[in-house]
Structure 1
Amino acid sequence: MLNIALLGSGRMAHVYGPKINAHPQMNLAAIFNPRLSSAQKAAAQYGGRAEDSLDDLLAAPDIDAVVIATPTNTHLEYIGACAKAGKPIYCEKPLDLNLERVDHCLDMLATHRVPFMLGFNRRFDPDVAALKKAVDAGDIGALTFLMSWSREPAPPPIQYVKQSGGYFVDGTIHDIDLMCWITNENPSEVFAAGSCLFDPEIGAEGDFDATMTTLKMPSGCIVHINNSRKCAYGFDQRIEAFGRDGMLQTQNHRDQNLIRSTQDATQAKAPLKHFFLERYDASFGHALDAFYQSIMAGAAPSPSASDGRNALAIALACTHSAKTGETVKPDYI
């Protein structure tokens, strides 16, 4: 049994708390928040003890690993403390909003070698995983185009937008990670465009609520991503992989979403989940299980901190491209 300390008691902690409890080999031992009353409220819901001292928590002999589900601006501080304490870490994305700070984090993780997994949960969605497996198996031949549609039902509160790092870093980064993971490549250059068409307050912050992104991969595969902060019909999430020998698609969430189109047949199905907590519900549990399995096997978890660093570099390049109209080469290390 792996005893887990959950850092945070906000929205994402309320996603991970039930998932930890549902895992047959995980035990939610403690919930941390510097505001003890908030930790106590979450602990009353999900179990475990409430803690407001991170030092005491990490020194406790019954804590085997941590799940960090706190605001982004706290991630690096908590990662550093947990790594120095020798605790395996699962952390919500992104690592941080600043590449220089992320590079310091990677150096620290290289010094304190603990298992580390970044919470790009959408890799663990059953439909996305099925598409990735089919691409890797060569079912549609070499990829020529890879396309992602990710549209949200309504813009978030403006206070959230102000702290998000911008739409590319907050939203598109999920699509970026998936596109790089599916293609097994990072783009050599990016071009992005953005508008503010739905919420003037977002535009007043210098951000976008409608974007299109093109990633040019070294293989020649061209990736297209389109994002919208508003979608009248719900949470629109689709991927299309177009290869020399056919096409694969994931559609809006249903019991079976993978669509296969080949010379022999086209198979399709059809209603729409409303938000990411519903659409990607299963993926959070699968991600935590992958974290558990990697620890038990002594293997390096994936997605890694380096995956997170590259995705942030690409997202920041997209932001620069959208604001300048330039094609940008991402800042990889």
Structure 2
Amino acid sequence: MKGISVFGSGRMGEIFAGNVAAHPGARLVSVMNPNIASARKLTDRFGGRPVGTPEEALADPEVEAVIISTPTTTHLEYIEAAAAAGKPILCEKPLDLNLERTDRCLEVLEKHPVPFMLGFNRRFDPQISALQRAVRSGEIGTLTFLMSTSREPAPPPISYVRTSGGYFADATIHDIDLICWIAGERPVEVFATGSCMVDPEIGALGDIDTAMTVMKMPSGALAHVNNCRRNVYGFDQRLEAFGSEGMIQTANQRDDDLIRWTSQQTDAKAPLKHFFLERYEASFRQELQEFLDALTEGRPPSATAEHGRTALAIALACEESRRQGRAIKPHY
């Protein structure tokens, strides 16, 4: 069993702690949070012990790997500490919100070459990973269009938006990573535009809650992403890949796939999964499995720090495009 310390005890910390505790090949050794009471809430449920500092967690010889699920602004500090201690790391996305600090993360990992995985969990969704394999195997011929729809039921609290780094770096970055991963290439230019149509407080911060992005790939393939922080029918998550020999789509998920007919309705289906934690529940479990498999097999994890830098560079180019109203070449 691999002994793991989870840094952070918020929403994502809870997901990781629960998945580690439930995994037959892992053991939750500790949960780290300067707020010990918060950490204890998770250890009371999932086992392990609460600790208040990264130094205490990393000094424990039972800790063989670290999962970082703390606020983005702390990632660099904790990556430095864990890497210097020789601990493999699974870190929630993004590495950071600016390229300079992201490059510092890469420098740290070059100096201390521990196994490192970035938490782009949607790669590990069964439908999405099957689509990626089909596209890369040539099932639909030459990729022409790649389209991603990602619409949330409601915007996050304004306190979260204030420190999120903007819509593209916070949310669209998932779609960006998937598109690059599926296509096997990264865009040479992006054009993005957006509006604030959901929450005026988001607009008052200079951010947006509704966006469309077009990316042009070196091959000529075009990718399109549409995002919105309001969707009355649930968490709408769809991908479509269109090529010279056909098309592949992923479907939204529901609690059941029954189709109902009554005197009041026809072709009726259950509502969509309502939140990303429900929609991507399987992907979080499979993400942890990939991390543990990589450690066991002695290979690099499939979602790397370099992938995180690429996705952030594109997200920042999207924001620049939105503000300038023109196509932008990402600075890789």
Q: TM-score range, shorter-chain basis?
A: over 0.9
Give 1:235's aligned residue: 235
Conserved 8 A contact 1:196-1:207: yes
**Cα deviation 1:183-235 (Å, max 9, x = unaligned):** 01010000000000111111110011100000100011000000001011111
- Counterpart CA distance in 2 for 1:183 and 1:54 is 38
Q: Write the distance in 2 (CA, Å) between the matches of 1:308 and 1:73.
A: 15
1:149 maps to 2:149:
yes
CA distance in 2, matches of 1:30, 1:236: 35
For the pair 1:174 / 2:174, whether they are aligned, the reply is yes
Listed as ranges, the matches of 1:298-309 within 5 Å are 298-309=298-309
Give deviations 1:76-123, integer Å, cap 9, x for gaps: 100000000000000000001010010011011001000000000000
**Does the Cα contact within 8 Å between 2:233 and 2:271 map onto a contact in 1?**
no
Counterpart residue number, 1:74: 74
Secondary structure at 2:100 match in 1: helix
Taking structure 1 as reference, are residues 281 and 187 closer, same or farther at Cα in structure 2, changes over 3 Å only?
Answer: same
Output one character per residue of 1:10-63: Cα deviation in whole Å (capped at 9) or x when no partner: 110111111111211000011100111111122111110111121121111111
- 1:129-168 aligned at under 5 Å gives the runs 129-168=129-168
Aligned to 1:116: 116
SS of structure 2 residue aligned to 1:248: strand
Percent identity, please. Answer: 60
Partner of 1:65: 65
C-alpha contact (below 8 Å) 2:106/2:305 kept by paired residues? yes
Distance in structure 2 (CA, Å) of the matches to 1:173 and 1:11:
19
| Secondary structure of the corresponding residue to residue 296 of structure 1 | helix
Which residue of 1 is the match for residue 211 of structure 2?
211
Q: Which runs of 4+ in 1 moved over 6 A?
A: none
Partner SS state of residue 331, structure 1: coil
Equivalent-residue separation in structure 1 for 2:54 and 2:129 (angstroms): 35
Structure 1 unaligned segments of length 5 or more: list them.
258-268
Match of 1:94 in 2: 94
Distance 1:121 1:218, change over 3 A: same
Q: Which residue of 2 aligns with 1:320?
A: 320
TM normalised by structure 1 equals 0.94
Note the C-alpha offset of 1:255.
8.2
Deviation at 1:137, TM superposition (A): 1.6
Alpha-carbon RMSD across the aligned residues, in angstroms, is 1.4
Q: 1:210 to 1:84 in 2, by over 3 A?
A: same
In the alignment of these two chains, the number of paired residues is 321
Q: Which residue is equivalent to 1:295?
A: 295
TM-score if structure 2 supplies the norm length? 0.95
How much does 1:249 deviate? 0.1
Aligned to 1:2: 2
- Alpha-carbon contact 2:234-2:271 (below 8 Å) kept: no
* 1:245 corresponding residue in structure 2: 245
Deviations 1:286-318 (A, max 9, x none): 000000000011101121000000100000000
User: Is this contact kept in 2: 1:252–1:271, CA < 8 A?
Assistant: no
Deviation of 1:256 after TM superposition, in Å, equals 10
* CA–CA distance in structure 1, aligned partners of residues 111 and 182 of structure 2: 30
2:321 is equivalent to residue 331 of structure 1? no
For 2:115, the aligned partner's letter is P
Residue type matched to 1:135 in 2?
V
